[in-house]
Structure 1
């Protein structure tokens, strides 16, 4: 195989807004589901688990949240391999439809009182399906977007996409808040289900958008010049292990920080601090909306000064500020529910902004989808799905209300050296067949293996 991939034949270029919308719609469906689950945790615990011990029911609900992450690595490996062999667009179309179906089905499961133990079993099955399809969504959408983006705007475009993956947490929060205005018995019995059913139309819109857009220029070049790998996953594991490990570290920190913020903090405020549900939901939704503004700005900054500097700032920031943010949250004083979360998101936004671009820029086109999916989904399976459960478990066992922040800080401490060793990638040309992930590569220049 040639060391470089020639430029693809000319094809009508989709508009920037259409490319971003196509990538973003899957993020919207994926994170809308996870956000709904987090905001509806209390209602879900009452619907699908035995009554009598609210603490056990809530912990069981948070544990099932983590179950969906068990199949993410498998979904990432399967869908990533297919995406490197037949194209990004087809796999992304399948992923968005699969996620939508699983979310709708979850809203239709009968209660524990109606079908007994079959209720939590069906809940677990829908979460496993969601995890499988999600395993190919975020990394595939990131690959699709980065491969379409101009070289000097990859950070900005990816930041916009990440922001659209954060919007659902704010959107879902206000949706749930609107439905909780129903009479309490109506919301508990059937009202909480309606937001899940709304995922169906969102998924159909995503399917339509993805079927109507062109494949990425880099993948078309591979097809036209015979550059596709016959076994992309094997190539990733044999030639790009350092890059996979780096992605795992960054994605691990990002996943714990993100799910601590979006899926656990509302529960933390209500259960541990005694914050009223409306304040917990509204403040979290506002803070998450602010993340949607910060991440594209940080992404654009990374296009100018490099990914490393932004990532280092974020990792050190979480190391220093994660625990203090929970000290502020736990004080219960007026305004601290908002202030504590605000302190948390300033460094978190730096990590979230560069993850998508870094994990795509570290791998060559022929194995980009597989490589990004492998590192990202293994990290999310280990750290992301368990973040809410671990956070609450630490509080329950230690009685230390800042324990979730200390957990985030511990992971940040592990990622700081990775950030310093990370090769600078923001000037790399994505059309090259092979990149080196050698830690000594810090100049931002393209490295090509023979």
Structure 2
């Protein structure tokens, strides 16, 4: 028996359009965002003084990290709009903004041409990219989750979330193609700009696709019940602080892991290990493909046995395998680089699979976009955007190629402890009593009501009770 406020399931053909649009939209969005990392070496040369190579790389990755400072603001802005106006229109604006800022990087003059204004303009474009990215992942995943059948949400979101890995593969191969077909002079002169300009064009494709999907049934039900909150951010901070804490902790490992694989590892192999740049890119593509395949399988697994067990396994595997993975990857050959990165990608992929839907299930529909975006983006600022910068710095300071592995292992162990206490949510309805007014004007803080409303008095603290089972 289902919640009487729950709308009928989205037809299969419509669900396919939603999943396809979200997957392609995430591809376009994250291609635009990660292509900067794969152009890090040439950006360091063209936009910053070249007297000190390490200093130039650190400056390049610092600009990369600064873009993440806008992510919480983007999450607040687009989360607020998405919870008040709906997911669909907001997501169209997001992908257009990302395309404009990415194409802008491809059109910028260099440091030699305009001096200090070049890195300043680069910084502005990165800030706009960060603003856009702050609303993307949780918004598109929320749209998919709210269209998906309840028993398959983990698989659906794991599949679309996994497409965040493919842009890094595509960008890496694109850069590899350009660097091997163009002369060094041509690539430095204009070839590096091509991937950024292509990103701008791809955003128009994403905009068209997103204009053809329907609004979330869960949001429409909340809207019909006149339960759309006027101040979703205030409601989140007042009523869902515990869920925010869980979201931040899960996003800490998600952010560090994702941007280690997509934004740091290829530079680590070429600059610190001394591996040929082509081999570094190829090995990174293989590892990201492993993560892409693993994520929907792990998401489907979480539909069957629960989110918490899969998160625990993924965090534990990441803690145990980080050192062996880096040890293999730093051995200096293509085979060991593939093996080491793939080992880490497999462990992280298990964690990534259910984490996308967990972010969303922690919050009710009326604050889902805002709540998940706040926790997710805050952690990505601290642990995701700093991954390339901190990794480069810690290797230079310590002189150890395994220093980044220790960092990841320690963080994974901490997240493992938190994952043991996260509330189980794979059987809960995404439309709760507070979304339809079934439990009065305000539901208890961090409540996770079941799919079927009960006429008896509610539990005093369902989250705490669930978390201790």
Deviation at 1:329, TM superposition (A): 1.4
* Separation (CA, whole Å) in 1 of partners of 2:206 and 2:55: 37
Is the contact between residue 366 and residue 433 of structure 1 (CA under 8 Å) also seen in structure 2? no
* Separation (CA, whole Å) in 1 of partners of 2:333 and 2:171: 26
SS at match of 1:215: coil
Is the contact between residue 27 and residue 138 of structure 1 (CA under 8 Å) also seen in structure 2? yes
* Separation (CA, whole Å) in 2 of partners of 1:389 and 1:408: 14
Q: Deviations over 1:105-164 (max 9, x none)?
A: 011100000000000000000000000111111110111110011111111111111121
* Separation (CA, whole Å) in 1 of partners of 2:337 and 2:142: 36
> 1:18-417 counterparts in 2 under 5 A?
18-181=17-180, 182-333=182-333, 335-417=335-417
Q: TM-score when scaled to structure 2?
A: 0.91
Task: Tell me which moved more, 400-409 or 329-338.
Answer: 329-338
Deviation at 1:323, TM superposition (A): 1.7
Q: Deviations over 1:233-286 (max 9, x none)?
A: 111101100101101001011110111111111011111111001100011011
What is the aligned counterpart of 2:463 among 438, 444, 450? 438
Task: Tell me which moved more, 429-438 or 367-376.
Answer: 429-438
In structure 2, relative to structure 1, the CA distance for the partners of 1:440 and 1:350 (3 Å cut) is: farther
SS at match of 2:200: helix
Is the contact between residue 8 and residue 217 of structure 1 (CA under 8 Å) also seen in structure 2? yes
* Separation (CA, whole Å) in 2 of partners of 1:12 and 1:388: 43
SS at match of 2:433: coil
In structure 2, relative to structure 1, the CA distance for the partners of 1:45 and 1:350 (3 Å cut) is: same
Is the contact between residue 286 and residue 342 of structure 2 (CA under 8 Å) also seen in structure 1? no
Deviation at 1:14, TM superposition (A): 4.8
* Separation (CA, whole Å) in 2 of partners of 1:328 and 1:12: 47
1:448 aligns to what?
A: none
* Separation (CA, whole Å) in 2 of partners of 1:68 and 1:26: 20
Q: Deviations over 1:18-44 (max 9, x none)?
A: 111221233112221232111111111
* Separation (CA, whole Å) in 2 of partners of 1:306 and 1:51: 51
What is the Cα-based RMSD across aligned positions, in Å? Answer: 1.6
* Separation (CA, whole Å) in 1 of partners of 2:25 and 2:113: 33
Which ranges of structure 2 fall in alignment gaps of 5 or more residues?
435-446, 449-461
* Separation (CA, whole Å) in 2 of partners of 1:5 and 1:382: 41
In structure 2, relative to structure 1, the CA distance for the partners of 1:5 and 1:367 (3 Å cut) is: farther
Is the contact between residue 102 and residue 196 of structure 2 (CA under 8 Å) also seen in structure 1? yes
Deviation at 1:12, TM superposition (A): 6.5
Deviation at 1:62, TM superposition (A): 0.8
Is the contact between residue 8 and residue 224 of structure 1 (CA under 8 Å) also seen in structure 2? no
Is the contact between residue 287 and residue 338 of structure 1 (CA under 8 Å) also seen in structure 2? yes
* Separation (CA, whole Å) in 2 of partners of 1:34 and 1:211: 22
Task: Tell me which moved more, 11-20 or 258-267.
Answer: 11-20
1:447 aligns to what?
A: none
* Separation (CA, whole Å) in 1 of partners of 2:61 and 2:44: 9
In structure 2, relative to structure 1, the CA distance for the partners of 1:103 and 1:248 (3 Å cut) is: same
Task: Tell me which moved more, 223-232 or 377-386.
Answer: 223-232
Is the contact between residue 280 and residue 334 of structure 2 (CA under 8 Å) also seen in structure 1? no
* Separation (CA, whole Å) in 2 of partners of 1:154 and 1:44: 40
Deviation at 1:334, TM superposition (A): 5.3
Is the contact between residue 5 and residue 227 of structure 1 (CA under 8 Å) also seen in structure 2? no
Q: TM-score when scaled to structure 1?
A: 0.95
Is the contact between residue 22 and residue 209 of structure 1 (CA under 8 Å) also seen in structure 2? yes
* Separation (CA, whole Å) in 2 of partners of 1:38 and 1:193: 13
Deviation at 1:424, TM superposition (A): 0.6
* Separation (CA, whole Å) in 2 of partners of 1:250 and 1:7: 28
Is the contact between residue 365 and residue 433 of structure 1 (CA under 8 Å) also seen in structure 2? no
* Separation (CA, whole Å) in 1 of partners of 2:339 and 2:465: 39
Is the contact between residue 424 and residue 443 of structure 1 (CA under 8 Å) also seen in structure 2? no
